[in-house]
């Protein structure tokens, strides 16, 4: 009689290991065996040699041939590791058009962390894993709102999810296409659509600085109060708003317009 394993360590309640017994000689006519645990409060074993952890401690699993003449033992040590506590401090520190950089507080006893992402109107997705307390999530679509949560993991299992941190990838820039007269002292600006974005309109004259003159949700905006014969420069900046914060894209091209 021989066991392939002489010892094994189980780290979670319900964790298991399959023991493999060989009855010798190989040509023995009866290879039926029975399994027994010396301490069922530590681990139990079924008729096929599967050992399952019950509680902390050490026990011996004995396998015996049907005639009782041959035995072998395996020492099982159960060291149940508690699941990690809930992750705290999850936040999104930086965003680009295609990435979110997330960080959280270290959890004592955690071996790694799983990062879950919820995209607007979609389901939670197990997105990434890391041993560090920060990660940059890559390959995300631009101008999209996300919620991120994190769970710590060790041999005892996965801990509770953190509270969600909301953010958005930055939207693409709009293309400012047309500046057209819209009545005396007024101009209508038209620009390309950027999905999910709002639009801040900026204007300047001469060598002055750009200032925001209006915000729009559509792909056109009217700016009033222009002085006839004066030249103005316009540009547009897209942004996504979520959780009370704006996530800005790049500025558009600049268009010049002489008021009529």
Residue 135 has which token pair? 């990660």
Residue 27 belongs to domain with CATH number: 2.60.40.1080
Q: Which domain holds residue 96?
A: 91-169
Last residue of some domain: 145, 169, 193?
A: 169
**What per-residue confidence (pLDDT) applies to 27?**
75
**What per-residue confidence (pLDDT) applies to 116?**
97
Cis amide bond preceding 74, omega within 30: no
Last residue of some domain: 116, 151, 169?
A: 169
pLDDT digits (tens, 9 = 90+) for 23-70: 887 777 788 899 999 999 999 999 999 999 999 999 999 999 987 788
Q: Left if phi > 0, otherwise alpha if psi is -120 to 50, otherwise beta: which for 75?
A: beta
User: Does 194 share its domain with 232?
Assistant: yes
Which residues have a Cβ under 8 Å from the Cβ of 51 and sit 6 or more positions away? Answer: 8, 10, 16, 17, 18, 19, 37, 43, 44, 45, 61, 74, 76
Domain contains 11: yes
| Residues of the chain under the 70 pLDDT cut | none
**What per-residue confidence (pLDDT) applies to 122?**
80
Q: In what order do the strands lie in the sheet with 91-95?
A: 91-95, 100-103, 134-137
Last residue of some domain: 141, 169, 197?
A: 169
User: How many structural domains does the chain have?
Assistant: 3
């Amino acid at each position: 009689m021989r066991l392939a394993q002489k010892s094994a360590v189980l780290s979670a309640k319900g964790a298991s290991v399959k023991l493999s017994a060989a009855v010798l000689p190989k040509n023995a006519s009866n290879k039926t065996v029975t399994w027994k645990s010396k301490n069922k409060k530590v681990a139990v074993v079924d008729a096929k040699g599967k050992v399952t952890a019950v509680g902390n401690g050490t026990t011996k699993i004995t396998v015996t041939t049907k005639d009782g003449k041959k035995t072998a033992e395996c020492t099982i040590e159960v060291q149940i590791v508690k699941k990690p506590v809930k992750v705290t401090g999850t936040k999104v520190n930086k965003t680009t058009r295609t990435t979110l950089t997330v960080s959280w507080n270290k959890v004592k006893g955690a071996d790694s962390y799983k990062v879950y992402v919820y995209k607007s109107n979609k389901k939670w997705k197990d997105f990434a894993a890391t041993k560090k307390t920060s990660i940059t999530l890559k390959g995300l679509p631009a101008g999209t709102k996300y919620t991120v949560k994190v769970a710590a993991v060790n041999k005892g299992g996965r801990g509770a999810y953190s509270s969600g941190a909301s953010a958005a990838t930055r939207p693409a820039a709009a293309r400012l296409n047309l500046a057209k007269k819209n009545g005396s002292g007024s101009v209508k600006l038209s620009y390309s659509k950027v999905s999910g974005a709002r639009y801040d309109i900026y204007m300047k004259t001469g060598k002055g600085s750009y200032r925001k003159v209006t915000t729009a949700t559509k792909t056109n905006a009217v700016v009033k109060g222009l002085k006839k014969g004066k030249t103005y420069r316009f540009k547009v900046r897209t942004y996504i708003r979520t959780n009370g914060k704006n996530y800005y894209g790049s500025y558009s091209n600049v268009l010049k317009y002489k008021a009529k």
